[in-house]
Chains A and B, each alone.
Chain A
Amino acid sequence: MNQAPLSGSPLLELQALNCRFGGLRALDRVSLAVKSGEIFGLIGPNGAGKTTLFNLISGLTAASGGRILWRGQPISGLRPDRIARLGLARTFQNLRLFASMSALENVLVGLHGRGRTPLVAGLLGTAAFRRRQRELEAQAFNLLELLELAPLAQQSAGSLSYGNQRRLEIARALATGPRLLLLDEPAAGLNPAEKSELSALIRLLRQRFDLTVLIIEHHVPLMMDLCDRLAVLNFGERIALGTPELVRRDPAVIEAYLGGAVEEAS
């Protein structure tokens, strides 16, 4: 599980991914490779296919063509839970927390895979089981603390503020023990102060958990600052790829952003 990827071979590789919804080409032969340890950004106008790309990677939507390789192995066609257990965790653009469960319970669901105990031991509440349970709760609590949600641990997820829900989504995803964290617009709806805190947080998480991060975000300055590399999608096509400096000067990107009327951050 924790073996380092072969030197040079990417952690996640997308090869000519296609996705069609009826007549709409949501993704058109998109290829890119995410290296272990980097923060990789995905930008593009609304409807460009960014979330669709996440859905393909996490197994929610079937690709119409192309391949997804995880540490060199194809994972297309696997169920979402299998993919998650391989070490890919995600957050959702339109927050999908377990709303009536507490913040702590949300994180505990993320920890599900690590809490394996015999059912009988659980039913009888043996000492070993209780110890394991306390450990898990402590772990969950630590994650909440890291994301500054500890005081809200017992509140129901649905009652948290928008910014807190966004961070709880990250905590829950981290709980699954991922190698790759997929963040879908984690800064949406946050105020400028929260946005700059988020950058620092993502760097901290990468370092602390030895993570690779694939992040979608509209706020271009934040992305230029945060990401090691960026890919730009427009109408389902990858129109640019490279370091922030390179992408910033790419004529196709400038065209897409100036041509596209809907861009809040430019």
Chain B
Amino acid sequence: MPLDASLLVQMLLGALLGLSVYLPLRAGQLSLATPGFYAIGGYTAALLSTRFPALAGDGALYPLPSLLLELVLAALIAGALALAIGGPVLKLKGIYLAIATIALVEILRVLNLNLGFTGGATGLFAIPQPFEGPVGYLLLSLAVLALVCWLCARLERLRLGRAMEAIREDELAAACMGLDTARVKLLSFLFSALVAAVAGVISAHFLNTWNARQGSFDASITTLAFVVFGGSRTWLGPVVGGLALTALPELLRPVGDLRLVVYGLVILLGPILFPQGLITPELLRRLRWPFRQTSAEAPAP
């Protein structure tokens, strides 16, 4: 049972990371910076909770207000970085943006690996626990995921969400319709950073230890796979992709040594068999899924 709860927590965090990649992609921006912001979140939590005894309190458990403070601080730091670099970086198009954001992730990783205060290669240990067991983490991640999903679902119905979709369809035409494309892209990049940083904070406590391996190039691509696999046209896609692909290596344990080979096979075949991803808006409409009824699908006046 505890093992299952742990896996569930990982899956929920995977879904959050999927959403973090999805948000810019919805505005047509292939940003792979998610693991970088995730790492920032993790280090913020790890450093605050291990280096500042005042935050840790006297009880056996790490106080929840301190956790909340970490979440806020991590979001602030990641958000500030996203706003600072987003302007110039989002001028890049397509694969250039992808590679530039991978570069960012790698630069952060190398810095974390070598700067003294991040604990070097071994990282930071004994991150205090705000919950007694995985169930607490499960509830927390579930709540955060539900909140982010709700925001994404609302966003898809809002003017901003429609602007993002228009930019994804045709950035040039969108600009000619008066959309401030730079601002919309920057906002989507900011949202992505916030979600990743929050996931990082939870993850650091959950894993009890944090090091530079947590935000690497592999993670960039895996999180992208969540979105491509699940589908990138509605928020439910990356959630399903993140849940499924995080669980897959564990579920494949019975296959033994072959499990990573099978995992690779799934990632290879996913885009070929489901080019739109598992979850598409059309599918949801057919299943009468209630949450994505964009305003435009409401009966005409």
Contacts and interface: CB of A to CB of B under 8 A. Distances in A.
A–B contact via C-beta, under 8 angstroms: yes
B175 A99 contact: no
Nearest to A142: B301
Contacts of A79: 175, 182
Given A84-B175, A92-B173, A125 B162 contact: no
A62 interface: no
Interface string A98-116: 1111101100111011011
A80 B179 CA distance: 9
Contacts of A116: 159
A150 B159 CA distance: 21
A154 B296 contact: yes
Given A108-B296, A117-B159, A123-B151, A98 B165 contact: yes
Nearest to A85: B178
How would you classify the secondary structure of chain B's contact residues: helix, strand, loop or mixed? helix
A203 interface: no
B163 interface: yes
B230 to A, nearest CB: 18
Contacts of B5: none
B172 interface: yes
A141 B181 contact: no
B180 interface: yes
B177 interface: yes
Interface in A208-251: none
Which of A92, A97, A112, A113 has most chain B Cβ within 10 Å? A112
Interface string B169-192: 110111111111110000000000
Contact of B163 (A89, A112, A138, A141): A112
A96 interface: yes
Contact of B176 (A90, A133, A141): A90
Contacts of A175: 177
B262 interface: no
A108 B155 CA distance: 15
Nearest to B168: A98
Given A112-B178, A122-B159, A104 B296 contact: yes
Contacts of A38: none
A113 B162 contact: no
Contact of B154 (A92, A113, A122, A153): A122
Nearest to B299: A154
Contacts of B182: 79
Interface string B138-157: 00000000000001001100
Contacts of A85: 178
B122 interface: no
B172 A96 contact: yes
A176 B177 contact: yes
A133 B295 contact: yes
Contact of A81 (B160, B169, B179, B294): B179
Given A58-B176, A80-B176, A133-B295, A112 B159 contact: yes
Given A81-B175, A84-B176, A123 B158 contact: yes
Contacts of A50: none
A97 B162 contact: no
Given A123-B158, A137-B301, A109 B176 contact: no
Interface string A132-151: 01100110010000000010
CB-CB nearest 10 A-B residue pairs: A84-B178, A98-B169, A96-B173, A80-B175, A105-B296, A109-B166, A122-B158, A104-B296, A85-B178, A81-B175
Given A105-B294, A123-B151, 14 more contacts: A60-B172, A79-B175, A79-B182, A81-B180, A81-B181, A98-B165, A98-B174, A101-B165, A104-B300, A110-B178, A116-B159, A122-B158, A137-B298, A154-B297
Interface of A: 58, 60, 79-81, 84-85, 89-90, 92, 96-102, 104-105, 108-110, 112-113, 115-117, 119, 122-123, 125, 133-134, 137-138, 141, 150, 153-154, 172-173, 175-176
